[in-house]
Amino acid sequence: MKKMKLVMVGNGMAGVRTLEELLKVAPDLYEITVFGAEPHPNYNRIMLSPVLAGEQTIDEIILNPVQWYADHGITLHLNKKVVRVDRTRRVVVAEDGTEATYDRLLLATGSNPFVLPVPGKDLEGVIAYRDIADTNYMIETAKTHRHAVVIGGGLLGLEAANGLAQRGMKVTVVHIAPWLLERQLDEVSARLLQRSLEERGLAFRIGAQTQELVSDDKGRVRAVRFKNGTEVLADLVVMAAGVRPNTTLAEQIGLHCNRGIVVSDTMQTVTDPRVYAVGECAAHRGIAYGLVAPLFEQGKVCANHLALFGIGRYTGSQVSTKLKVTGINLFSAGNFMGGEGTEEIVLSDPFGGAYKKLVIQGDKLVGACLYGDTADGSYYFQLIREGACIKGRRNRLMFGEAQPEEASEGATALATA
Residues that bind other proteins (CB under 8 A): 343-352, 354, 360, 373, 394-396, 398-399, 404-405, 407, 409-414, 416-417
Closest approach of Cβ 397 to other proteins, in Å?
9
For residue 362, is it left (φ>0), alpha (ψ between -120 and 50) or beta?
A: left
- Please report, for residues 19, 47, 54, 190, 200, the alpha-carbon distance to residue 326 in angstroms, rounded to integers and kept in the order given: 31, 12, 11, 16, 11
| Closest CB to other proteins among residues 155, 193 | 193
CB 210 within 8 A of CB 174: yes
**Closest to other proteins by CB, 220 or 396:** 396
Residue type, 399: F
In a 3-state reduction of DSSP, which class is residue 139? helix
Q: Kindly tell me which of 201 and 362 has the beta carbon lying closer to other proteins.
A: 362
| Minimum distance from residue 155 beta carbon to other proteins (Å) | 25
- In the chain, what is the greatest distance between 2 CA atoms, to the nearest angstrom? 70
Q: How far apart are CA 352 and CA 338, in angstroms?
A: 24
SS3 of 161, please?
A: helix
With H, G, I as helix, E, B as strand and everything else as coil, classify residue 199.
helix
By beta-carbon proximity to other proteins, the closer residue of 71 and 343 is 343
**Distance between CA 84 and CA 34 in Å, rounded?**
15
Secondary structure element (H or E) that encloses residue 66, with its range? helix 66-71
Give min distance, CB of 124 to other proteins, in A.
44
> Which residue lies nearer to other proteins by CB, 216 or 343?
343
Specify whether the CB–CB gap between 246 and 262 falls below 8 A: no
Instruction: Report the residue number, 230 or 408, with the smaller CB distance to other proteins.
Output: 408
Distance of CA 342 to the CA centre of its chain: 27
**Residue 91 beta carbon to other proteins: minimum distance, rounded to whole angstroms:** 60
Q: How far is the CB of 409 from other proteins (least distance, A)?
A: 5
Alpha-carbon distance of 210 to 118, in angstroms, equals 8
Helix, coil or strand: residue 104: strand
CB of 396 to other proteins, least distance (A): 7
Taking the complex as a whole, the smallest distance from the CB of residue 405 to other proteins amounts, in Å, to 6
Nearer to other proteins, 231 or 363 (CB): 363
